Amino acid sequence: MTKRVGVEVCAAIAEAVKLADVDVVAAYPITPQTHIIERLADLVVNGELQAAYIPVESEHSAMSACLGSAAVGARTFTATAGQGLELMHEVLYVASSMRLPMVMVVANRALSAPLCIWGDHSDAMAVRDTGWIQIFVENGQQAVDNVLCGFRIAEDQRVLLPVMVHADGFHLTHMVEPVVLPEQEEVSKYLPPYRYPFPLDPNKPVTMGAFGPPHIYTETKRAQYEHFKSVKEVVKESWKEFGKRFGRYYSPVEGYRNEDANVLLFTVGSYSETAMDAIDRVRAAGKKVGLLRLRLWRPFPFEEIREAAGGADTLIVLDRSLAIGGMGGPVCADIRLALDNGKNKTEVVGFVGGLGGRDISVSGFEEIIDRGIELAKKSNRDEFEFYGVRE
């Protein structure tokens, strides 16, 4: 029987990892993801999860250990946050380029300096081009579901790539929420035993990824790029199958009261649920405003965004990270590209806010909507504004 429990989201993520029946957990503690791996350590010690638990000396070592376990065909999990993700940075490229399936939960945290342990999306944006499939979640249920979906996607023989699941630090990870934990039998049907097709074998030694001189390097990167584009359909297929089994459906871009909207707000992560309340308020005031939420960050859903946003007059994008020296927020930049850099009729307005974990209230989102509509009338397509900066 399916269980609905009140649980801290970090602990719920650990339970999802247990349901996935992982073989290896290699991790190093860092706020705000430490509760995930602490709970997994308890599950292993108590015999509830039959897995190798590798305590390492750094996040760089954690990801390196994951490379080894994935390369021999073990179902592999890790978790990190902020500076820990940055310490892993160089190894992330190896996991994706070598096509080593694994799942990592990132409890999103602001990057130093100044030192900040609270959540924004600067760490996620710093690793956007590493070749990992990347999914954002908004609540505990979505975190549980997409850990399971992450393994299904990563291990699909048409994919064989690592997956990141992004969950906002503190605003999500440390909240106690009602979560449905599916039965092990049902999860095992959705996520069958893992069979990696190219496991390292000491009886058949090979060298992999050791050296790529100029006359082959570009071709390997081109092949990686083309393959990565193709996996989006498998991601959608995996979500559809999950929905059929468990009744909860996901898609690359998800809407809320957006069907007849001529103004759309675009958000990423846990703040999206606060934004929904703001949409309800402005709808009650008679304004045709809707919400789009990004679920799949990489590969970026260009076509789905064109379909969802192309008919709106105004699209107001909130980024929770800052591209210093660029055009404000990374998400807004990709959306402008998706909408043909202004060739589409939709006016795209960018805001950067919620940095370092600063809250944006329901009334704050109402202010963003009103200011976005005002800026759209001026057709300043290439500009953005900070939201919530104290004068």
Question: DSSP letters of 244-302?
Answer: HHHS----SEEEES-TT-SEEEEEESTHHHHHHHHHHHHHHTT--EEEEEE-EEES--H
Please check whether the two domains, 3-246 and 256-386, share a CATH topology: yes
Superfamily of domain 3-246: Thiamin diphosphate (ThDP)-binding fold, Pyr/PP domains (3.40.50.970)
pLDDT digits (tens, 9 = 90+) for 338-357: 998 556 789 999 999 999 99
- Segment 255-271 shows an average pLDDT of 97
What proportion of the chain, given as a percentage, has pLDDT over 90? 92
Per-residue confidence (pLDDT) for residue 380, from 0 to 100:
66
Q: What is the DSSP secondary structure assignment for residue 197, as one 8-state letter?
A: S
Which residues make Cβ contacts (< 8 Å) with residue 128, sequence separation at least 6?
134, 297, 298, 330
β-bridge pairing 176-181 and 347-352: unpaired
pLDDT digits (tens, 9 = 90+) for 78-97: 999 999 999 999 999 999 99
| Residue 240 identity | K
Whether pTM exceeds 0.85? yes
Q: Give one DSSP letter per residue of 294-329, joined into a string.
A: E-EEES--HHHHHHHHTT-SEEEEEESS-BTTTTB-
Per-residue confidence (pLDDT) for residue 379, from 0 to 100:
76
Q: Which of 121-130, 265-274, 336-345 has the lowest mean pLDDT?
A: 336-345
Task: Say yes or no to pLDDT of 1 above 70.
Answer: no
Q: Which of 129, 124, 150, 146 is nearest to 137 (CA)?
A: 146
| Residue 1 identity | M
Q: What is the DSSP secondary structure assignment for residue 201, as one 8-state letter?
A: -
Task: Say yes or no to pLDDT of 241 above 60.
Answer: yes
- Segment 231-248 shows an average pLDDT of 98
**pLDDT classification of 382: cutoffs 50, 70, 90:** low
- Segment 191-202 shows an average pLDDT of 94
Q: What angle do CA 42, 45, 46 make, to 5 degrees?
A: 80
Task: Give CA separation, 11 vs 8, 37, 99, in Å.
Answer: 5, 9, 29
Cβ atoms of residues 292 and 253 within 8 Å: yes
CA dist 218 and 36 (Å) reads: 38
- The CATH-assigned architecture of domain 256-386 is 3-Layer(aba) Sandwich (3.40)
**pLDDT classification of 314: cutoffs 50, 70, 90:** very high
| Residue 308 identity | A
Beta bridge partners of 314: 263, 347
Per-residue confidence (pLDDT) for residue 328, from 0 to 100:
85
Q: What is the DSSP secondary structure assignment for residue 192, as one 8-state letter?
A: P
Task: Give CA separation, 198 vs 87, 99, 225, in Å.
Answer: 28, 10, 20
Q: Give one DSSP letter per residue of 222-233, joined into a string.
A: HHHHHHHHHTHH
**pLDDT classification of 72: cutoffs 50, 70, 90:** very high
Per-residue confidence (pLDDT) for residue 391, from 0 to 100:
81
CA dist 250 and 150 (Å) reads: 12
Q: What is the DSSP secondary structure assignment for residue 53, as one 8-state letter?
A: E
Question: How many Å is the maximal CA-CA distance in the chain?
Answer: 70
**pLDDT classification of 137: cutoffs 50, 70, 90:** very high
Per-residue confidence (pLDDT) for residue 3, from 0 to 100:
75
Average pLDDT, the chain: 96
Residue 17 half-sphere exposure, CB side, CA atoms within 13 Å? Answer: 35
**pLDDT classification of 327: cutoffs 50, 70, 90:** confident
Per-residue confidence (pLDDT) for residue 381, from 0 to 100:
63
Task: Say yes or no to pLDDT of 237 above 70.
Answer: yes
CA dist 320 and 357 (Å) reads: 9
Q: How many CB atoms lie within 10 A of CB 111?
A: 17
Per-residue confidence (pLDDT) for residue 342, from 0 to 100:
55
**Mutual orientation of helices 232-246 and 214-230 as an angle, nearest 10°?**
30
Domain boundaries, the chain: 3-246, 256-386
Q: Which of 307, 288, 311 is nearest to 369 (CA)?
A: 288
Per-residue confidence (pLDDT) for residue 343, from 0 to 100:
65
- Segment 130-148 shows an average pLDDT of 98
Cβ atoms of residues 147 and 103 within 8 Å: yes
- Segment 365-383 shows an average pLDDT of 88
Task: Say yes or no to pLDDT of 209 above 90.
Answer: no
- Segment 138-156 shows an average pLDDT of 98
Task: Give CA separation, 333 vs 206, 313, 376, 384, in Å.
Answer: 42, 18, 16, 10
Q: Which two tokens stand for residue 359?
A: 């809250």
Q: Which of 118-132, 203-217, 292-306 has the lowest mean pLDDT?
A: 203-217
